[in-house]
Amino acid sequence: MTTRFRSMERWRWRFSAIFTAGLFAGTLAAATSPLAARGYTVLPAPQEVILGQHDLAFGPAWRLEAPGVPAGDVAMRTLKEELSQRHNLPAPAGSGAVVLLRIAPGSVQPGKVTDVEPGSIAPQAYRITLARDRIEIRANAGPGLFYGVETLAQLLKRRDGSVWFPEGEITDWPDLEMRTLYWDDAHHLERPAELKRAIRQAAFYKINGFALKLEGHFQFKSAPALVEPYALSPAEYQDLTDYGLRYHVQLIPFLDGPAHIAFILKHPEYAGLRAFPDSNYELCVTNPDSYKLLEGMYQDLLDANKGVKYFYLSTDEAYYVGMAANQGCQEKAEAGKLGSRGKLLAQFLDKAAGYLHQHGRTVLFWGEYPLQAGDIAALPAYLQNGEVYSPAFNRAFTARGMRQNIYTSTQGEERIFPDYYYPPGSRRNTGRVESMFETISSDSTRKEALLKGVFVAGWADAGQHPENFWLGYAAGLSYAWKPAPVPPAEATQAFFYTFYGPRVTNMTRAYQLLSFQAQFWSTSWDQGPSTTSKGIWGASERIFDKRRPRHDQSFPLPAVPGANLAYPSGWKERTGQRVAEAGEFLSRNDELIGLLDENLTRAEHNRYNLRVMRSNALLCRQNLQFLLSLGQVDEALARAAESAAGNQPASAIGALDRALDEVRRMRAQRNRVYHDVVAVWYESWFPRTAEANGRRFLHELDDVKDHVPDRTVDMSYLIQRELDLRLGQWYEKVQAVRNGYAAAHQQPMRSRPLNWGSLDD
């Protein structure tokens, strides 16, 4: 998406202002929804709520009746599971009050909706009547009955040893038919059981689209060269598909084209399909063999995804369509014949999406550059746009009768944790949930476009664990169900309550602290041209005359002392502010880890999510300790210089040894944290490895996009910036200076290798 990435910035702030309790307390706005005002929590918030005066008790004496509902219906099974897992209650089997589940087509009439096809909303509508002797969930169809059950499961509240619900009536329906999250497995792969857990979590929040990007993590029969060491088999993919459909979730294939396909074009077998011979980024759209390849891959996915309606043909960032003019690709001439580069992209869509359309799929794409508003009339009318782009585009799509989706994201290029919160004094002050609230609830698109749904992305390009994205997925997509007026703070609190359980405490503070820590992790290091990776071939606006360097992060190292141990000043002046800030952040990291550890004992659900958050906190902590250790090294070298100038060789040697030993501790600490983090992440991921299952991973960087996980085959991208620092060479030089000085002053020699780049211990 052209809107998904935001440039990084260096910012500073006042610690005393950030870390006061008043800051965190002030972020929680007063509850505005009727249920929240009464002390009950449901996410998404229901459309219509009428509450009586009484809170009523629920318990084992209740019985379950479901006339006309099939015995194996997911709503019945889900009710029993939720009562057991969330409220420690047996399935209703008593002889007292009744829980009545009923499907009655046409019995629940949705109110006003933004979706221009109200008939598509009715199957998801439901009504819950809450009385002393009866809870009735009535729906028009299976999806609505399931959503009603999930609402009841969230609504029930434990208090004083009993389970309670409010007297009243809830009538509910979604504002938009499709509410889709994007799960990016391009750079890693969850184990199938974990993907099922994610699908089930999505269904709990009434999310009914799960767009899954796999790239080489699917076993393409038509393109076996692309298949990575760990990849889902067609049978596993169909099993995931069937599991999603059981819970009314569409598992939607997501495949890029013609751009963003270095995972294909890096392979020698497909290099001939490149638009430009020296770039693996984009496919030649005038080469008939390009469509043969895509159609084979489409069919492989379709065969393993039976029962699903949609397919995402991602035309994301197809920067160079219509520009190629070389022996292997004559796009420029074809674009000239058609009248524009955008019309050439439209021709690609007509051919590529046409195959999917003929096979019964509703095809979504990204309607963006190089398309212009005037090119939209050339698009097949059956396409759906996965994003809204501009008023001119919206008018053109509407005139063409084409449906659109609001796009937003829970993460963009943040490295460690999403920017859910920004500290006071920063140039940005709208966190992710607030931004999604504004985009989904009040965007002018609601009046301009033929809206179908909302798409919330969490991009894996920065190498985060997708467990970090659930707040944005759940709270953000809640506004596709009900766009207003629940404020972001209330939706966030509802997420914490329903996702972790009612006993967790101070989760807003934990998310704020981790947001700030992750931002400092990124901004505490310098950015500079890479000297170790191949250059970038082009950018969104043009192809470069010659490749430009990627950017690496680096941090200044202390100077190597002179032969007489003279140590130039200046390192502290260049880095002292960041080192001082690291000390401040370290105390906040103590607080963060303390909160996460406490909530690991309190959480009733999704403890693994908290463990992933804790691993993020450890990565941040390791960075803080690294910076503080460099400060100690600087101080030790300065002391060594002072001692040498005072003719105290033993003291000088001792100070040098402390500096060298500190670097050794830095390496040991880095490796310990790295292995601890990887162990946690690999509980849900297959290993990132060069070879397994008889397949090898071809490690070749994307020629246009600098995706962080691409930099390494394994997980070491998490600490690559430290590995790239020449601390090993620095260590050897300082040790050599130390030994030269020791020999001149009859002091003991030292010979302890460092092996800075090794992760073995």
pLDDT in tens, 491-536: 999 999 999 999 999 999 999 999 999 999 999 999 999 988 899 9
Task: Return the pLDDT at 442.
Answer: 75
CATH number of residue 151's parent domain: 3.30.379.10
Task: Return the pLDDT at 486.
Answer: 86
Question: Nearest CA to 520 among 19, 4, 2?
Answer: 19
Distance CA 574, CA 556 (A): 8
Task: Return the pLDDT at 293.
Answer: 98
Whether 574 and 657 map to the same domain: the answer is yes
Residue 26 has pLDDT above 50, yes or no: no
| C-alpha distance across the termini of the chain, in Å | 40
- Non-local CB neighbours of 337 within 8 Å, separated by 6+ positions: none
Task: Return the pLDDT at 17.
Answer: 34
Residue 8 has pLDDT above 50, yes or no: no
Name the more confident of 12 and 1: 1
- Non-local CB neighbours of 482 within 8 Å, separated by 6+ positions: 44, 45, 46, 47, 174, 175
Question: Mean per-residue pLDDT for 54-83?
Answer: 92
In a domain, 18, yes or no: no
Question: Mean per-residue pLDDT for 583-605?
Answer: 97
Q: How many CB atoms within 10 Å of residue 41?
A: 21
Residue 353 has pLDDT above 90, yes or no: yes
Whether 584 and 733 map to the same domain: the answer is yes
Residue 21 has pLDDT above 70, yes or no: no
* Residue pair 421/435 in contact by the 8 Å Cβ criterion: no
Residue 25 has pLDDT above 80, yes or no: no
Whether 266 and 300 map to the same domain: the answer is yes
In a domain, 19, yes or no: no
Residue where a domain terminates, one of 172, 205, 232: 172
In a domain, 734, yes or no: yes
The total domain count for the chain is 3
In a domain, 369, yes or no: yes
Residue where a domain terminates, one of 172, 188, 209: 172
Task: Return the pLDDT at 200.
Answer: 98
- Non-local CB neighbours of 634 within 8 Å, separated by 6+ positions: 558, 571, 572
Residue 301 has pLDDT above 90, yes or no: yes
112-170 pLDDT, tens digit each: 999 988 889 999 999 999 999 999 999 999 999 999 999 999 999 999 889 999 999 99
In a domain, 627, yes or no: yes
Residue where a domain terminates, one of 137, 172, 207: 172
Task: Return the pLDDT at 425.
Answer: 77
Task: Return the pLDDT at 512.
Answer: 97
Distance CA 324, CA 331 (A): 5
Residue 6 has pLDDT above 70, yes or no: no
Question: Mean per-residue pLDDT for 661-674?
Answer: 98
CATH number of residue 468's parent domain: 3.20.20.80
In a domain, 293, yes or no: yes
Q: How confident is the model at residue 299 (pLDDT cuts 50, 70, 90)?
A: very high
Cα–Cα distances in Å, from 85 out to 72, 501, 598?
19, 11, 21
466-480 pLDDT, tens digit each: 999 999 999 999 999
Whether 154 and 188 map to the same domain: the answer is no
Whether 497 and 570 map to the same domain: the answer is no
In a domain, 139, yes or no: yes
Name the more confident of 445 and 603: 603
Domain that residue 612 falls in: 557-688+708-744
Q: How far is CA 113 from the centre of its chain?
A: 29
The type of residue at 312 is Y
Q: How confident is the model at residue 94 (pLDDT cuts 50, 70, 90)?
A: confident
Task: Return the pLDDT at 617.
Answer: 98
223-264 pLDDT, tens digit each: 999 999 999 999 999 999 999 999 999 999 999 999 999 999
Whether 244 and 154 map to the same domain: the answer is no
Task: Return the pLDDT at 697.
Answer: 97
3-state secondary structure 148-216: HHHHHHHHCEEECCEEEEEEEEEEECCCCCEEEEEEECCCCCECHHHHHHHHHHHHHCCCCEEEEECHH
Residue 9 has pLDDT above 80, yes or no: no
Residue 582 has pLDDT above 60, yes or no: yes
**CA–CA–CA angle 186, 480, 603 (5° rounding):** 70
Task: Return the pLDDT at 758.
Answer: 95
Task: Return the pLDDT at 59.
Answer: 87
Whether 229 and 81 map to the same domain: the answer is no
Question: Mean per-residue pLDDT for 431-442?
Answer: 90
The type of residue at 748 is P
In a domain, 399, yes or no: yes
Task: Return the pLDDT at 652.
Answer: 97
Whether 223 and 112 map to the same domain: the answer is no
Task: Return the pLDDT at 485.
Answer: 77
Whether 444 and 566 map to the same domain: the answer is no
Whether 495 and 588 map to the same domain: the answer is no
Task: Return the pLDDT at 11.
Answer: 33
What's the mean pLDDT when you consider all of the chain? 93
Task: Return the pLDDT at 508.
Answer: 97
The type of residue at 167 is E
Task: Return the pLDDT at 96.
Answer: 85
Whether 472 and 572 map to the same domain: the answer is no
Task: Return the pLDDT at 92.
Answer: 84
370-423 pLDDT, tens digit each: 999 999 999 999 999 999 988 999 999 999 999 999 999 999 899 999 999 999
What global pTM score does this model have?
Answer: 0.94
Whether 153 and 226 map to the same domain: the answer is no
Task: Return the pLDDT at 441.
Answer: 87
444-470 pLDDT, tens digit each: 788 889 999 999 999 989 999 999 999
Task: Return the pLDDT at 60.
Answer: 86
